[in-house]
Amino acid sequence: MVFSITFEHKLAGTTSYRAYETIEDWVYAQGGKVKENHRPTLIVATHGRAMKKPIGWKKDAKKTMRFELTQQASDVHVRVNIFPSAALGAEVATRAEEARFNWNELLTSLWARFGEKTPVQERAGRPPVNWARSMRNGKIMIYIGGAMTVGGIIGSLVFPAGGIFLVSTTGTILLVNGLMSIRSARKNLSDAKKPSEKSRVH
């Protein structure tokens, strides 16, 4: 199953043709390429660059973006499906909260081209990123990755085989991803607390 994250957004007071042209211009300004276009209802583009490290959930990581536009009276409804590169899909799925957060920030620069200062509709249509859940998922990955790594090392000593080595390698990847998830979640939880602490001081 192909992993993707979907965003829904409403553009007020415009037409699908204008929205299409603005999205297309944004893609090119971001260094992306249009792969498929059906003006004014669909545009499929590649965005980002190949990363040396497997961090496909980042803003500038290689991905495919599919924009579906529907005219609704004087507004345009935009549905955006973002697919990470096929090689990193499974890994990005384990960091879905971070991918959603990063890609939502990326799309904010697009919505700004329509005169929006803050993505009100996106915030209303989607719940905030659950960093606590992301931290729990990170801990689970560490537990599973640690068990697989230790088991793979012990197994390779007793039964030297490629399959056991693969298990150990997969475990190590899970460990690293788990640690990065926890670090990122802690940072964002800490940042989220700062405004509320300032408001209490005042």
Same domain, 64 and 82: yes
Domain boundary among 72, 94, 125: 125
Same domain, 18 and 113: yes
d(CA 96, CA 93): 5
Same domain, 118 and 180: no
Report the predicted TM-score, pTM, of the whole model to 2 decimal places. Answer: 0.64
Structure confidence at residue 121 as a pLDDT band (50, 70, 90): very low
| pLDDT, tens digit (0-9, with 9 covering 90-100), for 143-169 | 776 777 777 667 666 666 555 555 556
Same domain, 52 and 12: yes
pLDDT value, residue 123? 45
Same domain, 69 and 157: no
Same domain, 16 and 105: yes
Quick one: DSSP state of residue 61? B
Same domain, 136 and 98: no
Domain boundary among 125, 151, 181: 125
Same domain, 82 and 157: no
Same domain, 10 and 47: yes
Average pLDDT of the chain is 79
Domain boundary among 105, 125, 145: 125
Higher-confidence position of 98 and 177? 98
Those residues with Cβ within 8 angstroms of residue 52's Cβ, 6 or more apart along the chain or in another chain:
none
Same domain, 147 and 121: no
Measured CA to CA in angstroms, residue 11 lies from 24, 70, 124, 127, 185 at distances of 15, 10, 14, 19, 31
Total number of domains constituting the chain: 2
Range(s) of the domain holding residue 178:
131-201
Calculated CA dihedral for residues 147, 153, 157, 159, nearest 10 degrees: 60
Give the CATH number for residue 53: 3.30.310.80
Same domain, 98 and 137: no
Same domain, 73 and 91: yes
| pLDDT, tens digit (0-9, with 9 covering 90-100), for 6-51 | 999 999 999 999 999 999 999 999 999 999 999 999 999 999 987 6
Query: Of the candidates 153, 149, 155, which has an alpha carbon nearest to the alpha carbon of residue 172?
Result: 149
